Amino acid sequence: MPPSILLDGNSLTRDQVAAIAHGGVRVELDAKQLARVQRAADFLAEKVRCGEPIYGVTTGFGSNADKLLGAHRVRDELPGGNPHALDESRRNETLLEELQHNLVITHAVCVGEPFDASVVRAMLAIRINTLMRGHSGIRVSTLQALAELLNRGVIPVIPQKGSVGASGDLAPLSHLAIVLLGGGEAFFDGERMSGAQALARAGLAPIKLSFKEGLALNNGTTQMLATAALALQRLGELLDTADLAAAMTLDAFAGRSGALREEVHALRPHPGQVATAAHVRQLVDGSTLVDIAYHLVPRFRTWSAEAWSDAEDQKLGFDIAWDWVPPSQRHGREAFYSRFLPFKGGKKHQPQDAYCLRCMPQVHGAVRDAYAQACRVIDIELNAVTDNPLIFPDAPDAQAIEEQVISAGHFHGMPLALAMSYVKAAIPVLASISERRLNKLVDPATNDGLPAFLIGNEDATDSGFMIVQYTAAAIVNDLATRAHPASVYSVPTSANAEDHVSMGANEARHVLDMTDDLAHVLALELYTAAQALDYRQDMLNAARRLAERGDWRALAAKIANAPDTTHPSRTQFEQEVQALAASLAQAADFHAGAAVRDMHAQIRERIAFMARDRAMDGDVKAMCEWMAQRLSA
C-alpha cells in the first residue's frame, strides 16, 4: 500500500498537501473526528425532523434564503400530473434532497481548460480536511465517499474559470462534487470520461445527498486554497533558486561581499532580508572569486593566432589583457595603489556592485517576506471551516436553533486573496532583478571584462547569449502586466445577495501560473551565469598559469598599453609587471563557492559550454524542464 496521511481537520500542512497533490499518497480519516462529523449530521437531522428553519437546508440559497421549502412539490398538485417531474431514478427524492442535488448540478458551470490533476487532488484533500472538523453537517458515509475518489484515483474535471471567491469556490467545487453523484466528467487512469464511467471503473457507486451536504461540498475556499498552497510550495523552491542564481552571477562577476555581511543586516533586520543575505553568504562560501583583488582580474580580448605561445593555451577561445596605470595618473590615489597594483583589467576600481547584485538581500528578502505572510494565512486556512452555515451541536446553553446553526462568512476568500495579491506583486520583482543580472552578464559595458554576449566571436559571426536576454525581458514584461491584483475588483453576484466578493480564486490561479514563468527567468539566468562563470574562471586561471611559468615578459605582452623599452617609466613598469606575475603565481586555483560549483556542475551535466554559436533551443528547453522537475520533486 502507498503511504498515507491522516486527515483530522486540525493538522494538515502545506507539505502534506503537496505530497497528496503529486500523487502516490493515500488519505485516511481520523476515527475520533469522524465521531464529531456524525454528531453534527445527527444533530442536523433531528432539527429537520423538528421542523426548524435552517438556511440551505429547509430554505433556498442566496437570494432565495427567504423561501421555506414545503412538504412536496407545488406542481404535483396540478390536474393531470406534473409535466416537469423528476426522472424515475430521482422520483422519490424529498424537496430537501432535491435542493442539495440541484445546488451541485446547477453550479457546475466553469469554463476553460481543466485544472491539472495535482490541483484537483489538493482540492479533494483540503475539502475532506475542512469537513472533518465536524461543523458542516455532512454524513460520515458521504465524507468517506469523497476520500475514496482521491484514494482510487478519480480526478474530477474542473475547468479553471468560474469562481468569484465568495460564497467560496461554488462553481469549481460543484464540478468536484458532481462526480460523486455520477455526473460531470473525470479522469481515470489518464483517460477523460463521464463521471459515472469513472466511478464504475474505480469500483464506486454514485451517492445521494442528504441535508446540507451539497452546501458542505461546494461552499468553501478550496480551489483558491489548493492553488495557493501549491503556488507557495513552488515559490519557496524558487526563492532558494533565485538566491543560487544570484550567487552564481556574483561569482561570475568576481563581485563584492560587503553588502552581504551579517553586521550590515543587523541594522535593518527585516526577516527575509537577513535570511537572504545569510543564504547567499553560505552559497558563495569558499569562493576565490568574490572579493578578489582588482588587479588580478584580466579582461577578455578576442583570440588571435599570436595570443598564446604555449600549445595548450592556443586551444583557449580567448585572449586576456590589462591596462597599466602610469605614475602620472596616480596622483591623489596613492592610498589605493598602495593596496592594489596599478593595473586595470576586468574589474572596475569601485567598492560596490550594481544594485542587482548589491541589493539582492533587500529585493529577494522583500519577496521572502511576502511569501512568509502568505504562508501564515494559508497555514491557518488549511485547517479552517469555510462553509456556511456553521453547526455547533454541543453549544452550551443554546436557547434557539440560531445559536447552534449560525450563518457567517467564513467562505469569503479575502484573507487568501489579499495575501496572494501581495505575492502576485512580488513575483515580477524577483523575475525583474534576475533579468537585470542576466542583462549585466551579456552587456560588455557592464559585465566587468567578460566577452560581449559571452561568446568569443573572433570571426564576427556569433550572437552568443544575446537573445536569451530578450526572452527573459519578454517574460518579465508579461509577468508585470499580470500583476494587477484581482482582489481589488469585486463584481457582486446572486442578485446582490453576495454584494462583495474576493476574486481570490483568480488571484491564486494567477500566482500558480506565474510561478512557471518565474522559473523560466531563473533558468535563463542560471544558463547564462554558468557560461559567464566558465569564462571568468578560465580567464583568471589562464593568467595564473602564464605567471607560474616564470616569464614575466609573457605577462607584460598582455598589457595593452605597455610603454616601449625607451620610455622613462619602463623600469617601473617592468617591476610592477613582475609584482603582478608574482601575485598571480602565488594565487590558488580560481573557483566559485562550493554550492555554486555544485550547481554549475549539474548544469554542465546537461548543457555544454558554448564556445561557438549553436542551436540554443535545446539548451533552453533542457534548463526549463530541469527547473520544472526541481519544483515537482
Cβ(221)–Cβ(504) under 8 Å?
yes
Q: Rounded to whole angstroms, how far apart are CA atoms 104 and 336?
A: 76
Q: Rounded to whole angstroms, how far apart are CA atoms 455 and 465?
A: 7
DSSP 555-614: HHTTBTTPPPTTSTTHHHHHHHHHHHHHHHHHSPPP---HHHHHHHHHHHHHS---SS--
Exposure of 572 in the CB half-sphere (CA atoms within 13 A): 11
Cβ(487)–Cβ(507) under 8 Å?
yes
Cβ(20)–Cβ(7) under 8 Å?
no
Q: Which residues of 70-101 are buried (b: 16+ CB within 10 A; e: fewer)?
A: eeebeeeeeeeeeeeeeeeeeeebeebbbbbb
Q: Which secondary-structure segment (H or E) carries 47?
A: helix 31-49
Q: Rounded to whole angstroms, how far apart are CA atoms 58 and 48?
A: 8
For residue 348, give the C-alpha cell: 572596475
Burial of 514 (0-12, 13-18, 19+ CB in 10 A): buried
Q: Rounded to whole angstroms, how far apart are CA atoms 262 and 167?
A: 47
Catalytic site positions: 55
DSSP 493-544: BTTTTB-----HHHHHHHHHHHHHHHHHHHHHHHHHHHHHHHHHHHHHHHHH
DSSP 396-436: TT--SGGGTEE---TT--HHHHHHHHHHHHHHHHHHHHHHH
Cβ(222)–Cβ(130) under 8 Å?
yes
Rg of the chain taking only CA atoms, in angstroms: 33
Neighbours of 520 (CB within 10 A): 20
State the alpha helices, DSSP H only, in 165-322: 170-178, 195-201, 213-218, 222-253, 262-265, 271-283
Q: Rounded to whole angstroms, how far apart are CA atoms 209 and 139?
A: 9
Phi, psi of 194 (to 5 degrees): -70, 155
Using CA of residue 516, residue 518, residue 521, residue 523, what is the dihedral sign?
Answer: negative
Q: Which residues of 167-182 are buried (b: 16+ CB within 10 A; e: fewer)?
A: bbbbbbbbbbbbbbbb
Cβ(427)–Cβ(479) under 8 Å?
yes
Q: Rounded to whole angstroms, how far apart are CA atoms 357 and 363?
A: 10
For residue 499, give the C-alpha cell: 454584494
- DSSP summary character for residue 317: S
Which amino acid would we find at residue 198? A
Q: Rounded to whole angstroms, how far apart are CA atoms 443 and 434?
A: 15
3-state secondary structure of 354: coil
